[in-house]
């Protein structure tokens, strides 16, 4: 039996398709949106559409940005000779929250996972190797401490080692199986400061 009108059901269905949003959360959000003042709902809808149309990959590090280069890659205050390799833009944001890392990033948009059919060609490794043709002193591998993250770290290390560029891996302190975006800043900072050469 349908409890709500087709418009409400459609909104709940669309919201519940979002990651991390279950049926009850979707229902709560739907009713919140329906009860919003119309100008707030318009702003929300417009910001979603605008972000979808205007957000793209930074041409240097491949994080999400609405400009050709992200603010980190544009900054003259960052050390462009040290590149931290992360799996997602959310991982980049987690490290930026520490306020202590002064290098730049490279976002892979995934990790190697043969079980899921994700190989080296499916993530931004080719672009990383192109960046390393420039003036780079160190690559810090900050992939997650999962099987996929470790596999990716070892693969990257083997690719880079012959070039003579220093390759380090973030230290533990980040729990095995943990996603970087959910870890506190102090733990992330300890992992960064205790990194080891691979």
Domain edges within the chain? 6-54, 64-197
Q: State the number of CA atoms in the 13 A half-sphere of 119 facing the CB.
A: 1
Residue 172 has pLDDT above 70, yes or no: no
Q: Do domains 6-54 and 64-197 have the same CATH topology?
A: no
CATH code at 64-197: 3.40.1360.10
- Residue 99, Cβ density class (10 Å: 0-12 exposed, 13-18 middle, ≥19 buried): exposed
Which residues, 6 or more positions from 168, have their beta carbon under 8 angstroms from its beta carbon? 138, 139, 140, 141, 195, 196, 197, 198
Measured at the alpha carbon of residue 60, what is the angle toward residues 57 and 66, in degrees to the nearest 5? 35
Separation between Cα atoms, residue 148 and residue 87, nearest integer Å: 10
pLDDT in tens, 13-67: 999 999 999 989 999 999 999 999 999 999 999 999 999 999 999 999 999 999 9
Predicted model pTM: 0.77
What are the tokens at 160? 């880079």
Structurally, at CATH architecture level, domain 6-54 sits in Orthogonal Bundle (1.10)
Question: Are 28 and 20 within 8 A, CB to CB?
Answer: no
């Amino acid at each position: 039996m349908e409890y709500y009108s087709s418009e409400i059901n459609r909104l709940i269905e669309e919201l519940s398709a979002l990651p991390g949003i279950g049926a009850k959360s979707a229902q709560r959000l739907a009713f919140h949106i329906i009860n919003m003042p119309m100008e707030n709902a318009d702003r929300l809808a417009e910001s979603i559409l605008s972000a979808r149309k205007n957000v793209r990959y930074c041409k240097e590090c491949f994080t999400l940005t609405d400009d050709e280069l992200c603010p980190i890659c544009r900054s003259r205050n960052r050390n462009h000779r040290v590149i931290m390799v992360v799996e997602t833009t959310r991982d980049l944001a987690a490290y930026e929250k520490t306020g202590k890392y002064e290098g730049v990033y490279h976002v892979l948009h995934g990790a190697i996972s043969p079980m899921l059919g994700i190989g080296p060609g499916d993530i931004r490794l080719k672009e990383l190797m192109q960046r390393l043709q420039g003036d780079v002193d160190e690559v810090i591998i900050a992939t997650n401490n999962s099987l996929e993250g470790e596999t990716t770290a070892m693969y990257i290390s083997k690719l880079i080692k012959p070039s003579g560029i220093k390759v380090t891996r973030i230290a533990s302190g980040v729990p095995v199986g943990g996603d970087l975006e959910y870890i506190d800043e102090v733990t992330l900072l300890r992992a960064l400061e205790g990194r080891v050469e691979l």
